[in-house]
A and B are shown apart, each in its own frame.
Chain A
């Protein structure tokens, strides 16, 4: 079945850029997503990218997609302490983009 992998931990200093990486196995993935989960809360959609795109930028967030290598990354510019959370990569491969497969999540710690 489909598999999504992420590194589990990342620490950065406040003001630096964070890059969170994700790899997936399903070559038919249609949509790729980044979700953020703060302690005790549900998941919040940050951004998503269609498989026919290479890059998407949204304020401090930049998503890069390398479809050949099945590699997705999320760059957070000027990382703030409020960005400390768990970030989940997810892919959806059915026609309606409804069936999500989530990665294990990357815990981002922002140090002052």
Chain B
């Protein structure tokens, strides 16, 4: 079974530029999460989807961050414009309806210069 796929693995951009991250969850997993992990810290939830509905986006900085999961499968997280403080690893995770175990992707390491 393929795991959670994320791309790109690494991204370096200049501040004020836009950036997008893509996630393909494990097939059949209806719940999808985006986390941000700052250096030396644990992941912090940005947004959680149940199918195509964002059920918790309270921690998403909506002035510059947006996310979508149009068909309830893969998802895109966008930052526009990026700031220096956005440098972090962005992790995607998914879980099936019948379990609370989250399966994580390898993450996208973003560096904003």
Binding site for B on A (CB under 8 A): 4, 8, 31, 35, 40-45, 48, 88, 90, 92, 96-100, 102-105
Q: Which B residues lie within 8 Å of A88 (CB)?
A: 42-43
Are B100 and A97 touching (Cβ within 8 A)? yes
B59: shortest Cβ distance to chain A, in Å? Answer: 10
Are A45 and B101 touching (Cβ within 8 A)? yes
Count chain B residues whose beta carbon lies closer than 8 angstroms to a beta carbon of A.
21
Can you name the residue of chain A whose Cβ is closest to the Cβ of B100?
A: A97
**Complex alpha-carbon distance, A27 and B102, angstroms:** 22
B103: shortest Cβ distance to chain A, in Å? Answer: 8
Number of A-B residue pairs, CB cutoff 8 Å, is: 51
- The stretch of B70-78, B80-88, B104-112 in contact with A is B104-112
Partner of B106, one of A8, A40, A48, A104: A40
**Complex alpha-carbon distance, A90 and B104, angstroms:** 14
Are A42 and B4 touching (Cβ within 8 A)? yes
Are B105 and A42 touching (Cβ within 8 A)? yes
Are A90 and B42 touching (Cβ within 8 A)? yes
Are B101 and A4 touching (Cβ within 8 A)? no
**Complex alpha-carbon distance, A105 and B91, angstroms:** 15
Can you name the residue of chain A whose Cβ is closest to the Cβ of B101?
A: A45
Q: Is B95 an interface residue (CB 8 A)?
A: yes
- Say whether, besides A98-B95, A99-B56, A45 and B42 are in contact (CB < 8 Å): no
Can you name the residue of chain A whose Cβ is closest to the Cβ of B44?
A: A102
Q: Which A residues lie within 8 Å of B29 (CB)?
A: none
- Say whether, besides A90-B42, A104-B40, A104-B42, A42 and B91 are in contact (CB < 8 Å): yes
Can you name the residue of chain B whose Cβ is closest to the Cβ of A42?
A: B104
B52: shortest Cβ distance to chain A, in Å? Answer: 16
Partner of A105, one of B4, B41, B104: B41
